[in-house]
Amino acid sequence: MKKYFFTLAILLLFNRAASATNYFVSTSEGNDANPGTSVNQAWKTLKKVDSMNNSFVAGDSILFKKGDIFYGSITINGRKGTSKDPVVYSAYGVGPMPVLRASQKVGNWQKISNNVWVTALEPLSRLNSNTLVYYRTPSLFINNVAQQIGREPDFNPNDGGFRTISSHTANNQFITEAATLPYPENHFKGAEIAIRTNRDLFNNETVVSHTGNTVVVTATSADASLNTIRDRFGYIFQNHLNTLNREGEWCHDISNRTLYIYSTTDPNTLDIEVPQFPSVLTINNASFVKIQGLGLENASNNILAGQIDDNITIENCQLNNGADYGSSTWRFTNSVFRNNTITNVNDVGFRWEGGNGILISGNSFRNIATRAGMGGEGFIGYTGVRLVSNGEGDPSIIENNTVDSIGYHAVNYLGKNFVVRHNDIQRFCIIKDDGGGIYTVGNKNPNKVYENFVHHAPGARLGAPAGEQVKTIGIYIDNDSRAQEVFNNTVYNLGNWGILANLSGNNYFYDNTLYNCNGTGIALNTYKNTFGENGSTASALNNTMTRNILFPRLPGQNCADFNNSFNPSDLDKLGTLDSNYYCQPFKTGNVIKVQGASTIQYTLDEFRKQYPSYEPNGKPAPVTLEAGDDPAAFIRFEPNPTAQARIIDLGGEIYLDAQGKIYSGKVSIGPYASLALIKGEIVTGVEEAAMPLEVLTVYPNPMVADNDTLTLRLTIARKQKIVVRIYDLSGQLVSQQAKAVEPGEKEIMLNDLKLSSAGTYLLKFNCDGRTFTKRILVTK
């Protein structure tokens, strides 16, 4: 039997080998004159691989030796594998993954002055409307680390290194500062000027001249919104010889075809490279192709590109140092991008558009578009992940990705049949804001966004007017988007809104936790606009908002913000608002802000009274803090952005969540869930108390099980019935007793409350419209 199976395995291998070939490539051991069909007869260069493209058929594997670095680029054009036998580009051997690098080494540096060196470098070029256009190198690498382009002012973490616009002319070509520029006349003539023209826009132009406090710039963009300069925003000079004053800074003069670098050591002793090829790897008109375990680096435009492909799988690859894009494709269908990393990209990390059935799973997108002035123009530039579906075929899924340190939107989806889930998104809107951790705009197709974690994004303050509100949003449903279902997400530590439905109606927001959002937890926002169909007014009406936990950490943070400044009478048409938890823990803290003809702050009860159809079952905070209480001493937030349960230890402290559930000791937090907790061992209430805390006593405490009788001593304002309940720390009711009590100072013996087991319990009762909680220790 063993002999039979061995023979069968050999036959199967022979049958596959009859129609498929393994090709090997090694810079250290290969030769392009070899057939490439064995380790000992490997090819040497990417140029050879590229020349053999038409020879590769279903089942073939092109394998690059681990530990080797290959310079150049390749195009996979028209290759057709099958589901059983794809065409595979992967690795062989042992060691680090092989690297395909689209850059060239730069040497022959000559020192010209004060640690500034120069060498010859031809500009890059590309066809633009049949015209050959020359442009500067987008990057320079030392030891494969991208260096800062020369800029003035220098970058610093306090003001970002921006100059400030005081005024400008109507044609947006004259910028004036409040004081004379600290440079000689035309010191930066011919430099690039990167201008932050709005909270969500950067525009790069050329300095025509400057003198005194005025800079004259070009205004070349056909889009007037990009050219529109705004006072009090910032700008920088870059890519000019006179900007070089820090280690590794560089500039590229394409007119004189020269490259400059600032270096305190001889750059001829350093490993310096610049991009040479637009892409490292391009896939066109192919199907059933797999790219596995490769490093792809240093493209001048797009590390991994492609168009009109299907069933492409890219997995376990590392894409690093891209100019415009980490990966940009058009009309990929039924394709997979899985367990890859994309890092250090100037503009957009990942941009796939026009396809469907895309799976983006388990990837890491980090350090995307974090240098001001190096990203693209418009509302797409500086984005981490952008996926646009054509609305046909299978769903597209964005799941289990880490998206960290992004210049603008972290994840931007558009189209239908999307599932966005289980992503961990943080530190976005670093360079420009009015953006989202998860963002869609004008999207009228049903999609699901759930169990994501979006956090730690304070907003892009640098280069923006001092004191102006940042606009950083966790989940941002923008400009007439509809039918978006947003649920079970956790958003925390945001510069402004947790969830924002901006001019967007008929969406669903439920079971989300929104904690410590510096502006407000959730906002429904309508104002004058023309973003609706046929230029009509889009509005944030008829949304459904239920069971969300809105948990501020500070008194000035709102739970919710409902705005209709365009038509205040429509504030009663927001949709279904019910059973949300307005967990503002501070007595005098903000709860609900309503903006119509005027702006009014409401408590939950006041809001219900003004708008009776809203929040009949809404709940306030279960615990009230004084205005001066330190939130760090009372509030605890525990996220779990993983697929496994997480155990936390609260020790002997008693906490309550927004729903009033009690926690203590070791607590399990489920997958993709979170807990926002507040200490429960204090007197609480929904209104100002008529009875001070000092007149409430519970004794004996500790008490002896099956022996002592609990006694309450308290003062009440009116005759009433109180029900005293005892809970264990799991929240289970253990015992209870009802008492009719006359007004005044009373001592109530609770003979019917039986506690026979040692442990810690919670005693709770309502009195004079307030809820009281006391911890009781029972001993044997």
| pLDDT, tens only, 257-273 | 999 999 999 999 999 99
pLDDT at 66 over 90: yes
Position 222 scores a pLDDT of 62
Token pair listed for 321:
């140092």
Flag whether 762 is in a domain.
yes
Summarize the confidence of residues 17-44 as an average pLDDT.
93
Looking at the fold, whether 657 and 771 belong to one and the same domain comes out as: no
**Whole-number Å distance between alpha carbons of 694 and 460:** 48
pLDDT at 408 over 80: yes
Flag whether 539 is in a domain.
no
Flag whether 119 is in a domain.
yes
Flag whether 77 is in a domain.
no
Looking at the fold, whether 697 and 744 belong to one and the same domain comes out as: yes
Residue 102 or 392, more confident: 102
Name the band, by pLDDT with cuts 50, 70 and 90, for residue 764.
confident
Name the band, by pLDDT with cuts 50, 70 and 90, for residue 19.
low
**Whole-number Å distance between alpha carbons of 479 and 530:** 9
pLDDT at 344 over 90: yes
Summarize the confidence of residues 114-122 as an average pLDDT.
97
Summarize the confidence of residues 518-532 as an average pLDDT.
96
Position 152 scores a pLDDT of 96
Looking at the fold, whether 674 and 699 belong to one and the same domain comes out as: no
**What one-letter code names the amino acid at 393?**
G
pLDDT at 686 over 70: no
Last residue of a domain, one of 231, 253, 273: 273
Closest CA to 680 of 769, 775, 538, 560: 775
Position 746 scores a pLDDT of 78
Looking at the fold, whether 242 and 113 belong to one and the same domain comes out as: yes
Last residue of a domain, one of 216, 249, 273: 273
**CATH code for the domain in which residue 748 is found:** 2.60.40.1930
> With contact defined as beta carbons under 8 Å apart, do 734 and 755 qualify?
yes
Looking at the fold, whether 244 and 154 belong to one and the same domain comes out as: yes
Token pair listed for 761:
């319990």
- Bond from prior residue into 700 cis (ω within 30 degrees of 0): yes
- Mean pLDDT score of the chain: 91
| Tens of pLDDT, residues 617-642 | 999 998 888 888 899 999 999 999 99
| Tens of pLDDT, residues 458-489 | 999 999 999 999 999 999 999 999 999 999 99
Q: Using alpha carbons, list the distances in angstroms from residue 643 to 512, 677, 731.
A: 18, 22, 26
3-state secondary structure (DSSP) of residue 609: helix
Last residue of a domain, one of 252, 273, 294: 273
**Whole-number Å distance between alpha carbons of 562 and 574:** 8
Position 5 scores a pLDDT of 40
Looking at the fold, whether 645 and 753 belong to one and the same domain comes out as: no
**Whole-number Å distance between alpha carbons of 374 and 346:** 6
Summarize the confidence of residues 63-80 as an average pLDDT.
98
Flag whether 528 is in a domain.
no
Looking at the fold, whether 672 and 730 belong to one and the same domain comes out as: no
Q: Using alpha carbons, list the distances in angstroms from residue 160 to 196, 221, 234.
A: 12, 25, 9
Name the band, by pLDDT with cuts 50, 70 and 90, for residue 768.
low
Position 487 scores a pLDDT of 98
Summarize the confidence of residues 120-140 as an average pLDDT.
90
Residue 625 or 214, more confident: 214
Q: Using alpha carbons, list the distances in angstroms from residue 647 to 61, 452, 633, 651, 675.
A: 46, 20, 21, 12, 11
Q: Which residues fall within 8 angstroms of residue 109, CB to CB, at 6 or more apart? A: 117, 118, 119, 261, 266, 267, 268
Beta bridge partners of 505: none
Flag whether 567 is in a domain.
no
Closest CA to 365 of 337, 329, 335: 337
**Whole-number Å distance between alpha carbons of 276 and 320:** 15
Burial class (CB in 10 A: 0-12, 13-18, 19+), 5: exposed
Flag whether 297 is in a domain.
no
Looking at the fold, whether 654 and 710 belong to one and the same domain comes out as: no
**Whole-number Å distance between alpha carbons of 155 and 177:** 19
**Whole-number Å distance between alpha carbons of 484 and 630:** 37
Name the band, by pLDDT with cuts 50, 70 and 90, for residue 769.
low
Looking at the fold, whether 641 and 765 belong to one and the same domain comes out as: no
**CATH code for the domain in which residue 653 is found:** 2.60.40.1180
**What one-letter code names the amino acid at 115?**
N
How does DSSP assign 425-458, residue by residue? EES--SS--SEEEEEEES--S-EEEES-EEEEE-
How does DSSP assign 165-223, residue by residue? --EE-TTS-EEE-SS--SS-TTTTTT-EEEEEEETTEEEEEEEEEEETTEEEE----S-
Summarize the confidence of residues 568-585 as an average pLDDT.
97
Summarize the confidence of residues 537-555 as an average pLDDT.
97
Flag whether 385 is in a domain.
no
Residues composing the chain: 780
Enclosing domain of residue 110: 105-273
Position 692 scores a pLDDT of 39
**What one-letter code names the amino acid at 500?**
L
Closest CA to 621 of 664, 662, 591, 594: 591
Backbone phi, psi, residue 313, to 5°? -120, 125
> With contact defined as beta carbons under 8 Å apart, do 238 and 346 qualify?
no
Token pair listed for 542:
């008829």
Position 16 scores a pLDDT of 46
Position 652 scores a pLDDT of 77
Domain count of the chain?
Answer: 3
Position 2 scores a pLDDT of 44
pLDDT at 166 over 70: yes
**Whole-number Å distance between alpha carbons of 431 and 383:** 10
**Whole-number Å distance between alpha carbons of 266 and 282:** 36
Sign of CA dihedral 540, 541, 543, 549: positive
Looking at the fold, whether 154 and 265 belong to one and the same domain comes out as: yes
Residue 716 gets which letter from DSSP?
A: E
Looking at the fold, whether 125 and 240 belong to one and the same domain comes out as: yes
Position 346 scores a pLDDT of 97
Looking at the fold, whether 638 and 747 belong to one and the same domain comes out as: no
Helix or strand run (H / E) with residue 6: helix 2-19
